[in-house]
Amino acid sequence: GENVLTGVNFGRGLLRSLYAKGVPVASVGNLETYGLFPDIQDDHMRQMALQAFSQMYGGEGKDMITQYITQMGTDALKGADILRVAPQQYTSSVTYPDSPIAENMRSIAQVLSADLGTRVYHTEHRSFDTHASELTSHAKLWTDVSMAIGAFMEDLKEQGKDEDVVVLMFSEFGRRIRDNGAGTDHGSGGVAF
């Protein structure tokens, strides 16, 4: 059948690089509470709310923007509760560090181990946009990234998924080599690992 979870982004919003016609991508802030109307406990009330949501996106639009919004709403409705099973099915002895990037990497491991058909996962680690004290701040940032990826790979090995995953890290902007007296300015090159 149709996979409404081809891609999953863990973080704020959805990057433009993850938009592709006909490829649904969910954007998840917190996997534990993800879904439509997760706070409505009464099943009848929740079904009514989901039905109202469905009707909002049920129309056929003529222009591309309306069609896109309709498709996004339909995909969100279809995938609303699918991701919520991942934490319930997940078991691991790996302890992740206490950082936002590690929490997101753990969420990726949870969805990956649930075999929901997701093929592309994305998350980000913010705060690299520093212009001063870069040696100190970047040492901490890279330690967070390194520890999170280390725990993630250990977890995938435990899950038997470590040979099925490629990790790509990239930056959306580069840095100039020359110090400006307080740090470095943005450059035109980028980096990928």
Does 143 map to a domain?
yes
**Nearest-CA neighbor of 40 among 100, 91, 81?**
81
Does 18 map to a domain?
yes
What pLDDT sits at residue 24? 80
What average pLDDT score do residues 113-118 get?
92
Strands 120-123 and 7-10, by their bridges, are: parallel
Helix (H) or strand (E) holding 10, with range, is strand 7-10
**Nearest-CA neighbor of 11 among 117, 112, 108, 79?**
108
Does 31 map to a domain?
yes
Longest dimension (CA), the chain: 63
- CA–CA distance, 123 with 105 (Å, rounded to integer): 8
- CA–CA distance, 105 with 92 (Å, rounded to integer): 13
Does 58 map to a domain?
no
Does 50 map to a domain?
no
Q: Which of 54-63, 75-84, 152-161 has the lowest mean pLDDT?
A: 54-63
**Nearest-CA neighbor of 33 among 83, 99, 70?**
83
**Of the spans 20-24, 65-69, 162-166, which averages the highest pLDDT?**
162-166
Q: In the predicted model, is pLDDT for residue 78 greater than 70? A: no
Q: What is the DSSP letter of 11?
A: S
What average pLDDT score do residues 14-38 get?
80
List the domain range (segments joined by +) for residue 116.
Answer: 7-35+81-187
181 pLDDT band, cuts 50/70/90, is confident
Tokens of 63: 């222009």
- CA–CA distance, 162 with 33 (Å, rounded to integer): 27
Q: In the predicted model, is pLDDT for residue 106 greater than 60? A: yes
Beta bridge partners of 10: 28, 123
| Number of domains the chain contains | 1
Tokens 């923007």 locate to 65
What average pLDDT score do residues 57-82 get?
68
Does 141 map to a domain?
yes
- DSSP H helices, the chain, are 43-56, 64-79, 85-89, 100-113, 134-159
Angle of CA points 163, 164, 166, to nearest 5°: 95
What pLDDT sits at residue 74? 66
Q: In the predicted model, is pLDDT for residue 76 greater than 70? A: no
What pLDDT sits at residue 80? 64
Does 193 map to a domain?
no
Does 70 map to a domain?
no
Chain centroid to CA 19: how far? Answer: 13
